[in-house]
Amino acid sequence: MAEVSQYINRELSWLEFNQRVLDQSMYQRVPLLERLKFLAITASNLDEFFMVRVGSLRIQRQRRADAVDPTGMTASEQLEVVYERIDRMIHDQYECFLNQVEPALRAESFERISMATATAKQREAARRTFDEEIFPVLSPMAVDTDCPFPLLVNLGLYLCVRLKNLEEPKEAKTATSHIANSTDVDQPFATTVDDSESFAFIPLGKAIPRIVTLPSEKGYSYALLEDVVAAFVGEFFPGMEVIEAITFRITRNSDVSVREDSAADLMAGMEQVLHERRLADSVRIELSENASDSAIEFLRMALELEPRDVFLIPGPIDLSSMMSLTDMTGFAALRDPSWPPQASPSVDPAKTMFDTIAEKDILLCHPYESFEPVVRFVEEAADDPDVLAIKQVLYRTSRQSPIVAALKRAAQRGKYVTAIVELKARFDEARNIEWAKSLEQAGVHVIYGLRGLKTHAKVCFIVRREPQGIQRYCHFGTGNYNESTARMYSDISYFTKNEELGADATSFMNAISGYSQPQSYRRIEAAPLGLRKRLLNLIESETQRKKQGQKAYIALKLNSLVDPEMIDALYKASKAGVQIRLNIRGICCLRAGVPGLSENITVVSIIDRFLEHARILYFYHGGDEMVLISSADWMPRNLDRRVELLVPVEDLSSRRRLIEILDTYFRDNQNAWKLGSDDRYQRIQPEGTAAKVRSQRVLYQSAVDAVTQAAQARYNTFQPHESAAKGAE
* Nearest CA among 468, 469, 457, 539 for reference residue 504: 457
Neighbours of 242 (CB within 10 A): 16
Position 280, amino acid: A
Active site residue 475: no
C-alpha–C-alpha distance, residues 632 and 623, integer Å:
25
Do residues 402 and 236 lie in contact, with contact meaning Cβ atoms separated by under 8 Å?
no
Do residues 98 and 314 lie in contact, with contact meaning Cβ atoms separated by under 8 Å?
yes
DSSP 128-178: HHIIIIITTT---EEE-TTSBPP-PPTT--EEEEEEE-SSPPPPPEEEEEE
DSSP state of 588: B
Cis status, amide bond into 528, omega within 30 of 0: yes
Characterise 605 by phi-psi region: left (phi > 0), alpha (psi -120 to 50), beta (else).
beta
Buried b (16+ CB within 10 A) or exposed e, 358-368: eeebbbbbbbb
C-alpha–C-alpha distance, residues 367 and 614, integer Å:
11
C-alpha–C-alpha distance, residues 192 and 298, integer Å:
8
CA distances from 227 to 115, 212, 223, 511, 552 (A): 7, 10, 7, 56, 61
DSSP 182-206: -S-TT-EEEEEE-TTEEEEEEE-TT
- DSSP 3-state of 490: strand
Do residues 388 and 463 lie in contact, with contact meaning Cβ atoms separated by under 8 Å?
yes
Per annotation, catalytic residue among 178, 366, 456, 475: 456
C-alpha–C-alpha distance, residues 220 and 110, integer Å:
5
C-alpha–C-alpha distance, residues 378 and 651, integer Å:
23
- DSSP 3-state of 433: helix
Burial of residue 724, with CB atoms counted within 10 A of its CB: 0-12 exposed, 13-18 middle, 19 or more buried = exposed
C-alpha–C-alpha distance, residues 194 and 697, integer Å:
62
C-alpha–C-alpha distance, residues 408 and 658, integer Å:
34
β-strand pairing of 642-648 with 454-455? parallel
C-alpha–C-alpha distance, residues 535 and 632, integer Å:
11
Characterise 515 by phi-psi region: left (phi > 0), alpha (psi -120 to 50), beta (else).
left
Longest dimension (CA), the chain: 109
DSSP state of 12: H
Residues involved in catalysis: 456
